[in-house]
A and B are shown apart, each in its own frame.
Chain A
């Protein structure tokens, strides 16, 4: 067990859960008995699911094999550490979620503007009051550019709000 790396465990769990979900979900699919080959729409996903589970097991097996045959190499191998700024990714994802969820309510112009502004402020090192005006201006310019390019030039309608923003 000590030979198995953390990301190999996670890979096995991912493959098992995903493969298992596919197998359970496709159990109820019709099998088209009597039609030539006799397998239905669930056949191909089931083949993929079994392959996925097998590969997950092989990843762990590979770690064990390397660990037993080359223990020094295994000890030298470390899981990559967390890079700096670990809170930034979940924060940006949450901001994106909120922006997309409110896009139909507020329209792209407003939600896109706020998304840009908030992510600029989150990413910027050393946020200061002076930067606010620059960041506001940048966010407005990006949204204006998108509006000009997509809606006016290309004729692609951007998401509009209930209040026609």
Chain B
């Protein structure tokens, strides 16, 4: 379908005030979750996902996209004001943003952050509009073997970039894949790991698992951290930057946005890596490179343009391949699946209105947070002062009710608590929740296509090697997992032989 048709197909979703209200409400909630350190976009989306059950699929997506986009922006607020990034994607923003605040220029830092976030966000959406349909049309030729490779790629990448070792990331991914096998086998209908429980016949529900790993695990982790409330020392004024300065920084914004979009499109990469990479590259090549880190607007702009452009990039693999670009799009995939929709290339043909709604809600959310950010900057400071002894129990209650709301059964609350405790214990030994959740989300896709491939080839494993795209994906997977070890081994060999020849 032509890009223009795809964009306009969803206009009708926004002809009523309710949908526009949902975008604004979602953006507000996203700003709240992103601004408070310890709360994340993923947590906010997971907690409010059950609220979308009573909405149409379009309105549900509008609401969740609003939360997602709003939170990607607002992580910078606490990064600038108290040097505690509200979200991981705002870490790079704090390098210059907080320093600017200490010099009495907090308002300016927030202004530059807001404008560059908005421009980066819009840039990412434009790339999304053109790249996603192209990739989707390419993906229509994918068979079961290729989808197996794609699912493995998602797990390999998230394992490689997850905090800690790649091996532990892979272990987390496999644990997620195992959790997805609970319930009736898709092909034979045989009940697996149900232990006679009727509640487990349909398997673990996505919401309690996600909310457990992303919400309850975080609450339990935060309980261990002690510390006083952040102290706000900056006054907020002069928020709106000068047009001339913004114009001079426009090439930097464009370049950072490009980096952010392409890194965001890598499955499981996310805004944190995008903003760090853009900051590092801009610092390396900028004429003011030695001033980065001393409190210059360029540092804030480089990071923020990239982390919001990564949002559009993350949607590319999600919509075109059904692979989440980051944990937040994993939740959006969950929302689509709950509504009986399978993300992937077919969605462009069967539901162009949904694709278009995602584009347009992104745009509206960007505009919303830009307006809210510029007008409400001086009021956000108060969000940071919510005491944790009120915040954490409130989050726990919303997690519990959110999990109950799916099937109206207390069993799902047990699953929530079990996953939360499991996630907490896994973190203790260095296994992060993100690979587990990605494994759980990709599990049905991987198993279904893997087994179908082997059934169609009558047990011949070379079926994955005889198809060029499948072979290519396997090579990429091997490179991602083994490449760093091979490179390190080669470097050591060279160092040893270099020492040997010197002596």
CA distance A32 to B190 in the complex (A): 11
Flag whether A64 is at the interface (Cβ < 8 A): no
Contacts of B454 in A (CB 8 A): 37, 39
Number of A-B contacts defined by CB within 8 Å: 164
Q: Which residues of A contact B404 (CB under 8 A)?
A: 108, 158-159
Binary per-residue interface labels of chain B (394-421) against chain A in the complex, 1 for a CB within 8 Å, 0 otherwise: 1011101100110010100110010001
Residues 41 to 71 of chain A near chain B (Cβ within 8 Å): 41-45, 48-49, 51-52, 55-56, 58-59, 62
Q: Within 8 Å of chain A (Cβ to Cβ): is B430?
A: yes
* Contact yes or no, B397 A11, CB < 8 A: no
Contact among B181, B192, B226, B408 for A84, CB-based, below 8 A: B226
Are B389 and A59 in touch, CB under 8 angstroms? no
Contacts of B171 in A (CB 8 A): 11, 15, 52, 55-56, 59
A130 close to B (CB within 8 Å): no
Q: What CA separation (Å) do A112 and B170 show in the bound complex? A: 37
For residue A100, CB closer than 8 A to chain B, the reply is yes
Q: Residue of B at shortest CB range from A60?
A: B167
Per-residue CB proximity of A123-165 to B under 8 Å, as 1/0? 1110000000000001100110010011000111111000000
Contact A142 B393 (CB under 8 A): yes
Chain B residues numbered 9-63 whose CB sits less than 8 Å from any CB in chain A: 50-51, 53-54
B459 and A37: CB pair below 8 A?
Answer: yes
Contact of B225 among A22, A36, A38, A83 (CB under 8 A): A83
Docked pose: A44 CA to B450 CA in angstroms = 9
Which residues from 23 to 45 on chain A have a C-beta closer than 8 Å to any C-beta of chain B?
25-26, 29-30, 32, 36-45
A17 within 8 A of partner (CB)? no
Q: How far is the CA of A59 from the CA of B171 in the complex (A)?
A: 10
Contact A29 B389 (CB under 8 A): no
Residue of A nearest to B391 (CB): A123
A83 touching B193, Cβ below 8 Å: no
Stretch at the interface among B106-114, B127-135, B172-180, B354-362: B172-180
Return A26 CB to nearest CB of chain B, in Å: 8
Asked if B405 and A89 make an inter-chain contact with CB atoms under 8 angstroms apart, the answer reads no
Q: B258 to nearest A CB, angstroms?
A: 36
Cα–Cα distance between A32 and B192 once the two chains are bound (Å): 15
Is B287 part of the contact surface with A, judged by Cβ < 8 Å?
Answer: no
Complex Cα gap A25–B181 (Å): 13
Closest to B450 in A: A44
Q: Is the interface of B mostly helix, strand, loop or mixed?
A: helix
A108 to B405, CA, bound (A): 12
Which residues of chain B have C-beta atoms less than 8 A from A59's C-beta? 165, 167-168, 171
Q: Is the CB of A123 within 8 A of B174?
A: no
Any chain B CB within 8 A of the CB of A85? yes
> B231 near A: Cβ within 8 Å?
no
Q: A89 with B398: in contact, given A39-B454, A45-B181, A100-B414 (CB under 8 Å)? A: no
Q: What is the total number of residues of chain A having a CB less than 8 Å from a CB of chain B?
A: 66
A103 at the interface (CB under 8 A from B): yes
Instruction: Tell whether, in the assembled complex, residue A41 and residue B174 are in contact, meaning their CB atoms are under 8 Å apart.
Output: no
Contact B178 A41 (CB under 8 A): no
Q: What is the interface of chain A mostly: helix, strand, loop, or mixed?
A: helix
Pair A48/B174 contact, Cβ less than 8 Å: yes
Question: Given the known A-B contacts A59-B168, A146-B401, A150-B405, are A120 and B389 also in contact in the complex, defined by CB atoms under 8 Å?
Answer: yes
B185 neighbours in A (Cβ, 8 Å):
41
A116-B454 Cα distance, complex, nearest whole Å: 51
Please tell me if the beta carbons of B410 and A158 are within 8 angstroms of each other in the complex. Answer: no
Whether B170 contacts A7 by the Cβ 8 Å rule is no
Q: How far is the CB of A162 from chain B (nearest CB, A)?
A: 13
Which of B393, B410, B459 is the one whose CB lies under 8 Å from A116?
Answer: B393
A4 proximity list for chain B (CB < 8 A): none
Q: What distance in Å separates the Cβ of B397 from its nearest Cβ neighbour in chain A?
A: 6
Q: Is B398 a contact of A146 with CB atoms below 8 Å?
A: yes
Bound state CA distance, A62 and B19, in angstroms?
A: 53
**Is the beta-carbon distance between A123 and B188 smaller than 8 angstroms?**
no
Question: How far is it, in angstroms, between the C-alpha of A96 and the C-alpha of B168 when the chains are bound?
Answer: 29
Whether a CB of chain B sits under 8 angstroms from the CB of A110 is: no
B413 & A11 in contact (Cβ 8 Å cutoff): no
Taking CB as reference atom, which chain A residue is nearest B169? A55
A157 and B408 contacting across the interface, CB-CB below 8 Å: yes
| A83 cross-chain contacts in B, Cβ below 8 A | 224-226
Give the CA-CA distance A157 to B404 in the complex, in Å.
9
B168 touches A11 (CB 8 A): yes
Using Cβ atoms and an 8 Å threshold, which residues of chain B touch A38? 459
Contact sample, A vs B, 24 pairs, CB 8 Å cutoff:
A18-B175, A25-B193, A29-B190, A36-B459, A39-B459, A44-B181, A44-B451, A45-B178, A52-B175, A59-B168, A83-B226, A85-B225, A89-B223, A96-B417, A100-B414, A115-B393, A115-B397, A119-B392, A124-B387, A139-B393, A142-B394, A154-B53, A157-B408, A158-B401
Residues of A within 8 A of B (CB): 7, 10-11, 14-15, 18, 22, 25-26, 29-30, 32, 36-45, 48-49, 51-52, 55-56, 58-59, 62, 83-86, 88-89, 92-93, 96-97, 100, 103-104, 108, 112, 115-116, 119-120, 123-125, 138-139, 142-143, 146, 149-150, 154-159
List of 5 A-B pairs having minimum Cβ-Cβ separation, nearest first: A41-B185, A123-B389, A7-B429, A124-B389, A83-B224
Which residues of B are at the interface with A, using a C-beta cutoff of 8 A?
50-51, 53-54, 165, 167-168, 170-171, 174-175, 177-178, 181, 185, 187-188, 190, 192-193, 219-220, 223-226, 387-390, 392-394, 396-398, 400-401, 404-405, 408, 410, 413-414, 417, 421, 424, 428-431, 447, 450-451, 454-455, 458-459
> In the complex, given contacts A55-B174, A62-B167, what are 13 additional A-B residue pairs having Cβ atoms less than 8 angstroms apart?
A7-B430, A11-B431, A52-B175, A55-B167, A59-B165, A59-B167, A89-B424, A92-B219, A100-B413, A108-B404, A146-B401, A154-B51, A154-B405
